[in-house]
Chains A and B, each alone.
Chain A
Amino acid sequence: MATVPVLPKLIGERVKRREDPRLIQGRGTYVDDVKIAGLQHLAFKRSDVAHARIRSIDTSAAEAMEGVEAVFTGAQMAEMIPMGVATPAPTNRAIAVDTVRYVGEPVAVVVAIDRYVARDAADAIVVDYEGLPAVVDPERAMDDGVPQLHTEFPNNLAVRLMPSGTGAPPGGTPDDTAIDKAFAAAEVVIEQRMVNHRLVPNAIEPRGVVAHFEPGKGSMTIWSSTQNPHTLRNVIAGLTGLGQDQVRAIAPEVGGGFGAKINIYPEECVTAVVSQRLGIPVKWIEDRSEAFVATTHGRGIIGYLEMAARRDGKVLGVRLRLIADIGAYNMLGTSVIPTLTMLMANATYDFPAIRTTLTEVFTNKTPTDAYRGAGRPEATYFIERGMDMLAQELKMDPAEVRRKNLIPKEKFPYHTQMGAVYDSGDYEKALDAALAFANWNGLKAERDKARAEGRLVGLGLAMYVEVCGVGPSWLMPGTGGWEHSQVTVQRDGRISATTGVSPQGQGNETTFGQMLADQFGVPIEHVTILHGDTAVAKQGIGTFGSRSQAVGGTALHMAGTKVKAKMARFAAALLEAHEDDIVFENGRISVKGAPARGKSFAEVAWFAYIPTPLPEGLEPGLSESAFFEPTNNTYPFGCVICMLEIDRETGEPKLLKVSAVDDAGNLINPMIVEGQIHGGLAQGIGQAMIEEVVYGDDGQLLTGSLMDYALPRAADFPRFELESTVTPTPVNPLGAKGVGEAGTMGSTPAIVAAAVDALSEFGVKHIDMMLRPEKLWRIIHGPRQRSGQGGQA
C-alpha cells in the first residue's frame, strides 16, 4: 500500500502568509487601483479656518473650467447627514452648510475628468467666511463665556461628568462612601495631572472610495479603504434610498487601518451620492494632507489621577477624572472610546474602590475616534504612571508595588469595580515571566553602573490588561457584536469560506486557512478565504477591537464544524459506518481504526453533491453558515519592560531595550502574532517618543504633514524581545483572546517611567509625553523651579 503523506497540523505553526505573493510583486488591488471606464474624480474644497460662518461660496470659476463635470456645495447636499450615533450628538452634515467647525471640514466637492483638474477646480472655489473665535483648549472650553461650537450643547459639553466605578451603577446616582473611605484611610496619596495627547493614525494608504451607481440596474457598488464593508453597505443603503440588497460594498486590499477606517466618513457618503445623482462611476482618493485633518484622530484625553495607598504599597482607592478633547463632532465611536478608558481603569489590580468621571468636550479640531488601543492605552497609561509614582514615593521596586496589588489568579473570572468581567488571567505569572525574560535585576545593575559613569539611564515597567474580542451585541447597539462565516466544501473537494472580518494586514487568509486545513485534514492550498465583499461574505460586523480571531475566527470554526458533521454523515453512508467513527485526515475520510476503509476528501465531496442514493435525512450539498455571538469580551494582558538613555548634552532620548511578555490566549500563527505585537509596540513608542498633534491657538493644525508630524522609522527602534504566557479564554472554543492592539498598551507608561527614572537625579516625578528632547533638556539644564515638571516629588 502506498504511503499516504502526513499533513502537518498547522494551528500554532509559523505558516508563511498566503497574502504575500501578490503584495510583494505589486499585484494587490487597493482602492486607487480600481479602474472603471468613464470614471470621474472628486476633490473636496475644505475649510482652511477652524471656526467660521460661511457667508458665501463662489463656484463659478471652478464650474467654468474645462473638464469639470459638476460642483456641489453643502447646501446642495444638506440632506446628507451620514452618521447616526447612540448618544445625543450635534448634526454632522457630510458637507458643511452654514458653519465650519474644524480645519479640513468639507465645504464643497468637485467632479472632474481627472484628479489634477479636480484639484485645480477645488482650489478655484472661493469661500467667504465670517470668522469666529476658535475653541482649542478642552479645559477652558467648558468655561462660561467661551464661544460655543453647538448651541444645543452649552459649555461645549458633549458628555457632562459621567460617573462610573464603585457604587456608581450606569445611569444611577453615585454613592461615594467606599471611595471616600479609601482616601480617609490613606497613608499616602499620589496626585498627578497627565495628558495622553492626540495622535494621527496615519495608515500609509490614505482613505479612498470608488462608487459606481448603475442606473440601468438601480444598484450601487462601492469600493472603500474601510475596516467595515458591511456597515458601509448598510449606511450607504440608508443614505441613497436603496435596499441593503441593492448595495454591494467592497473593501479591497486595505493599506492599514488602525481604527481610523472604522468610521463611515462624509467622503464615502458624498462619493456614493454623486455617483447616484450623475449616474457615473466616481473616485475620491485622500491625499496625506487631507488625511491629517479629515481622518479621525486618536487619544486626546487629560487624566487627573489620585491614588490612595498604605505605606506598604497596597492601593486602597483610585480617583480618575477624565476630560476628553473630542473635536468638533461625534463620529461613530467618538463618545464611546473614552468610556473604554473608564472601563479599563481597574487595570490589572485588585483595587478596593475606584471613582472615575468622564467629561467629553467639543473643540474646533478634527473629531477623535478609535486609534489602535482606543481608550485602553490611556487607562493603562494613567494607572501605570500612578503605580510608578507610588513606587517612587515609597522607594519600592516598581515590580513589587505592582505585585502587591495584582488580581490573584484564583479570583478569575474577576468582576471589576468598573463593571467588566475579566475572563481569565494569571498576572503574576506574566510579571514574573517578564522580570526573568528581561533580566530585571541584571538591568538594574546595568543601569546603576551606567549612572556611576554619569550617564542618564532609566528603567520602566508596565503591566496591562485590555478588552478585546469586541461583542456582545448588547454592548454594540448600533451594529450588533456577532460575526458570521459560511464554509462551503466544493464538489471538487476544495473549500471556500467567507468571513465578515476583512483584514488590513492581519493575515486572516492565512490564519483562517490554517484553521480549516486542520479541521478538515486537507492541505491549506485547498482552502480559500473570501472576505471584504458584501456580495460574497453577505454578513459581518467588521475588523476592530482585536476581534478578528476571537469572534470572526470562532464563527468560521462553528460553520466548519457544521459542514464537517454533515460531511461525516455522507461519508458514513458511503463507507457503511457510523458517523461518529468517521475521521478526517491527510486529505482522506475514513473509518476510525481502519484507514483502508476510506475515500478521498474529494470523493466524499462529490458524493454529497451527486448523492445516488441520497442518504436518509440529508439534503444534498456541503455549505453551512454560522453566526457567533460572544457572551463576553476577552481580556489579554502582559508586561512591558524597557531601558532608555537620555543624552545629557542634548536631551535626546534613546531606547536601549524593549522586552514584552504578552498573553493573548491560544495562538494560531505565532509569526503573525509577533508582527502584530511589533506593530503595536511601534505605535506606542511613537506616541511616547516622537508623535504629537499640535494645534495653534487659532485652531490651525501645525503638524499637518509628515514633514511636521514624526512617524517612527526603522532606526528609531531597538530589536524588540518578545515572550508569551498562554492563558486561554473560556469565552470562545478557540481559547484565543486577540492581539492586534496589545503592543500599544504597556509601551507608553513603561517608556515614560524609564525617562523619569533616567532623570531621577533631578527629582522628576512625571513627564508628559511625548519625550521631546527640548523638554528633557530643560529638566537637565533649566532652573528646576521653572522647568514646570521637575522638583515636585
Chain B
Amino acid sequence: MVHVSMKVNGKARKAQVEPRMLLVHFLREHLLLTGAHVGCDTSQCGACTVLLDGRTVKSCTVFAAQASGSEITTIEGLATDGRLHPVQEGFWEEHGLQCGYCTPGMIMSAVSLLTDNPKPTEQQIRDGIGGNICRCTGYQHIVNAIQYAANKR
C-alpha cells in the first residue's frame, strides 16, 4: 500500500491505496466522486477526463500514486457557488448531451480547450475534443455548446 495525498476540488484528501490503484478508481470508489466515467481500457474515449494541476488527463491512465501531491478538478468541482460553469451551461443550452456518459469528460476537455484558446474556430473545437468520444450526438451540438461557452466569456 502507498500513501497518497492530493487536493480534489479544493479539498485535501489522504488515503492508503494499492500502488496499482488507478486515479479514476480512487476518485470513484474512495472519494465517491462518480462523475468521471470509465468507457474504455485504452485511453481512447476520454470519459474519465479530469484536470490535474489544470491540465486534462485521462484518469484511467494515471495511478492514484502518480497524482499524489497534485490538485485535481473533477466535473463535481466545476460549478462554483451553485452557478454552472459556462461550458456546463453551454451543454444544457445547446443540447450538447444525450445519454450523458461521455459528458463529464467532454466538458472537462472543453474547459481545458477554452483555457488554451478562448476563441477557437469550429475546426479547432472539433480537433480540440479529439480525445473524447461521444456515440450519441454526432458532436454538432457539442460544438455549439463549446461555442456558446466561448461567446459567454
Residues of the A chain whose Cβ atoms lie less than 8 Å from the Cβ of B103: 23-24
Picked from B39, B42, B91, B140, the residue with its CB within 8 Å of the CB of A707 is: B42
A533 to chain B, nearest CB (A): 18
Is B88 part of the binding interface, using a Cβ–Cβ cutoff of 8 Å?
Answer: yes
Residue of B whose beta carbon sits closest to that of A681 = B138
Residues of the A chain whose Cβ atoms lie less than 8 Å from the Cβ of B141: 674-675, 678
A205 to chain B, nearest CB (A): 4
Is B130 part of the binding interface, using a Cβ–Cβ cutoff of 8 Å?
Answer: yes
**Do residues B36 and A204 form an inter-chain contact, with CB atoms below 8 A?**
no
A715 with B45: in contact, given A26-B75, A675-B98, A678-B141 (CB under 8 Å)? Answer: no
Is B139 part of the binding interface, using a Cβ–Cβ cutoff of 8 Å?
Answer: yes
A505 with B98: in contact, given A206-B39, A707-B44 (CB under 8 Å)? Answer: yes
B23 to chain A, nearest CB (A): 14
**Do residues A26 and B136 form an inter-chain contact, with CB atoms below 8 A?**
no
**Do residues A26 and B104 form an inter-chain contact, with CB atoms below 8 A?**
yes
**Do residues B100 and A717 form an inter-chain contact, with CB atoms below 8 A?**
no
Count chain A residues whose beta carbon lies closer than 8 angstroms to a beta carbon of B.
Answer: 56
Say which one of A12-20, A190-198, A518-526, A777-785 lies at the interface with B.
Answer: A12-20
Give Cα A671 to B104, complex, Å.
Answer: 21
**Do residues B74 and A204 form an inter-chain contact, with CB atoms below 8 A?**
no
Residues of the A chain whose Cβ atoms lie less than 8 Å from the Cβ of B88: 24-25
Residue of A whose beta carbon sits closest to that of B141 = A675
Is A596 part of the binding interface, using a Cβ–Cβ cutoff of 8 Å?
Answer: no
Residue of A whose beta carbon sits closest to that of B99 = A505
Residues of the A chain whose Cβ atoms lie less than 8 Å from the Cβ of B36: 26
**Do residues B134 and A204 form an inter-chain contact, with CB atoms below 8 A?**
yes
Is B127 part of the binding interface, using a Cβ–Cβ cutoff of 8 Å?
Answer: yes
Picked from B102, B107, B130, B140, the residue with its CB within 8 Å of the CB of A204 is: B102
**Do residues B138 and A713 form an inter-chain contact, with CB atoms below 8 A?**
no
Residues of the B chain whose Cβ atoms lie less than 8 Å from the Cβ of A681: 138
A720 with B98: in contact, given A26-B35, A713-B130 (CB under 8 Å)? Answer: no
Say which one of B51-59, B62-70, B76-84 lies at the interface with A.
Answer: B76-84
Is A289 part of the binding interface, using a Cβ–Cβ cutoff of 8 Å?
Answer: yes
Is A506 part of the binding interface, using a Cβ–Cβ cutoff of 8 Å?
Answer: yes
Chief secondary structure at chain A's binding surface: loop
Is A585 part of the binding interface, using a Cβ–Cβ cutoff of 8 Å?
Answer: no
Picked from A27, A289, A675, the residue with its CB within 8 Å of the CB of B41 is: A289
A98 to chain B, nearest CB (A): 30
Say which one of A28-36, A163-171, A459-467, A468-476 lies at the interface with B.
Answer: A28-36
B108 to chain A, nearest CB (A): 10
Interface string of B9-49 (1 = CB under 8 A from A): 00000000010110000001000111111111110110100
Interface string of A697-735 (1 = CB under 8 A from B): 000000001110001111101011000000000000000
**Do residues B93 and A205 form an inter-chain contact, with CB atoms below 8 A?**
no
A650 to chain B, nearest CB (A): 19
Picked from A254, A255, A504, A682, the residue with its CB within 8 Å of the CB of B37 is: A255
Is A311 part of the binding interface, using a Cβ–Cβ cutoff of 8 Å?
Answer: no
Is A258 part of the binding interface, using a Cβ–Cβ cutoff of 8 Å?
Answer: yes
Picked from A116, A203, A743, the residue with its CB within 8 Å of the CB of B135 is: A203
> Which residue, A288, A681, A714, has most C-beta atoms of chain B within 10 A?
A714
Picked from B21, B41, B130, the residue with its CB within 8 Å of the CB of A714 is: B130
**Do residues A25 and B39 form an inter-chain contact, with CB atoms below 8 A?**
no
Is A749 part of the binding interface, using a Cβ–Cβ cutoff of 8 Å?
Answer: no
**Do residues B138 and A720 form an inter-chain contact, with CB atoms below 8 A?**
yes
Is A281 part of the binding interface, using a Cβ–Cβ cutoff of 8 Å?
Answer: no
Residues of the B chain whose Cβ atoms lie less than 8 Å from the Cβ of A505: 97-100, 136
Question: Which residues of A, 200-239, contact B by the 8 Å Cβ criterion?
Answer: 202-206
Interface string of B97-139 (1 = CB under 8 A from A): 1111111100100000000000000110111011011111111
Residues of the A chain whose Cβ atoms lie less than 8 Å from the Cβ of B45: 204, 288, 706, 711
Is B143 part of the binding interface, using a Cβ–Cβ cutoff of 8 Å?
Answer: yes
Give Cα A699 to B133, complex, Å.
Answer: 28
Residue of B whose beta carbon sits closest to that of A743 = B138
Residues of the B chain whose Cβ atoms lie less than 8 Å from the Cβ of A139: none
Is A103 part of the binding interface, using a Cβ–Cβ cutoff of 8 Å?
Answer: no
B94 to chain A, nearest CB (A): 9
Residue of A whose beta carbon sits closest to that of B40 = A288
Give Cα A712 to B45, complex, Å.
Answer: 11
Give Cα A24 to B76, complex, Å.
Answer: 9
A204 with B41: in contact, given A26-B36, A679-B137, A717-B138 (CB under 8 Å)? Answer: no
A706 with B133: in contact, given A23-B100, A204-B99, A717-B138 (CB under 8 Å)? Answer: yes
Is A446 part of the binding interface, using a Cβ–Cβ cutoff of 8 Å?
Answer: no
Residues of the B chain whose Cβ atoms lie less than 8 Å from the Cβ of A720: 138, 140
B32 to chain A, nearest CB (A): 8
B125 to chain A, nearest CB (A): 7
A231 to chain B, nearest CB (A): 20
> Which residue, A23, A32, A683, has most C-beta atoms of chain B within 10 A?
A23
Residues of the B chain whose Cβ atoms lie less than 8 Å from the Cβ of A682: 135, 137-139
Give Cα A366 to B105, complex, Å.
Answer: 30
Residues of the A chain whose Cβ atoms lie less than 8 Å from the Cβ of B137: 675, 678-679, 682
Residues of the A chain whose Cβ atoms lie less than 8 Å from the Cβ of B44: 705-707, 711
Question: Which residues of A, 81-118, contact B by the 8 Å Cβ criterion?
Answer: 116
**Do residues B130 and A33 form an inter-chain contact, with CB atoms below 8 A?**
no
**Do residues A714 and B99 form an inter-chain contact, with CB atoms below 8 A?**
no
**Do residues B92 and A17 form an inter-chain contact, with CB atoms below 8 A?**
yes
Is A21 part of the binding interface, using a Cβ–Cβ cutoff of 8 Å?
Answer: yes
Residues of the B chain whose Cβ atoms lie less than 8 Å from the Cβ of A202: 135
**Do residues B91 and A24 form an inter-chain contact, with CB atoms below 8 A?**
yes
Is A542 part of the binding interface, using a Cβ–Cβ cutoff of 8 Å?
Answer: no
Residues of the A chain whose Cβ atoms lie less than 8 Å from the Cβ of B127: 714-715
Is A303 part of the binding interface, using a Cβ–Cβ cutoff of 8 Å?
Answer: no
Is B72 part of the binding interface, using a Cβ–Cβ cutoff of 8 Å?
Answer: no
Residue of B whose beta carbon sits closest to that of A254 = B99
**Do residues A255 and B100 form an inter-chain contact, with CB atoms below 8 A?**
yes
Residues of the B chain whose Cβ atoms lie less than 8 Å from the Cβ of A712: 138
Picked from B84, B126, B140, the residue with its CB within 8 Å of the CB of A24 is: B84
Picked from B21, B97, B143, the residue with its CB within 8 Å of the CB of A23 is: B97
Interface string of A643-676 (1 = CB under 8 A from B): 0000000000000000000000000000110110
Residues of the B chain whose Cβ atoms lie less than 8 Å from the Cβ of A35: 32
Is B3 part of the binding interface, using a Cβ–Cβ cutoff of 8 Å?
Answer: no
Give Cα A287 to B44, complex, Å.
Answer: 13
**Do residues B139 and A204 form an inter-chain contact, with CB atoms below 8 A?**
no
Give Cα A678 to B98, complex, Å.
Answer: 11
Is A507 part of the binding interface, using a Cβ–Cβ cutoff of 8 Å?
Answer: yes
Is A458 part of the binding interface, using a Cβ–Cβ cutoff of 8 Å?
Answer: no
Residue of A whose beta carbon sits closest to that of B22 = A116
A288 with B42: in contact, given A27-B35, A253-B100 (CB under 8 Å)? Answer: yes
Q: Offer 6 A-B interface pairs, CB within 8 angstroms, sorted by A.
A: A24-B91, A25-B76, A202-B135, A205-B101, A258-B135, A715-B123
Which residues from chain B sit less than 8 Å from chain A, CB to CB? 18, 20-21, 28, 32-42, 44-45, 47, 74-76, 78-79, 84, 88, 91-93, 95, 97-104, 107, 122-123, 125-127, 129-130, 132-143
Q: Which 9 A-B pairs have the closest CB atoms?
A: A26-B35, A255-B101, A505-B99, A23-B100, A505-B98, A682-B138, A678-B138, A706-B44, A26-B75
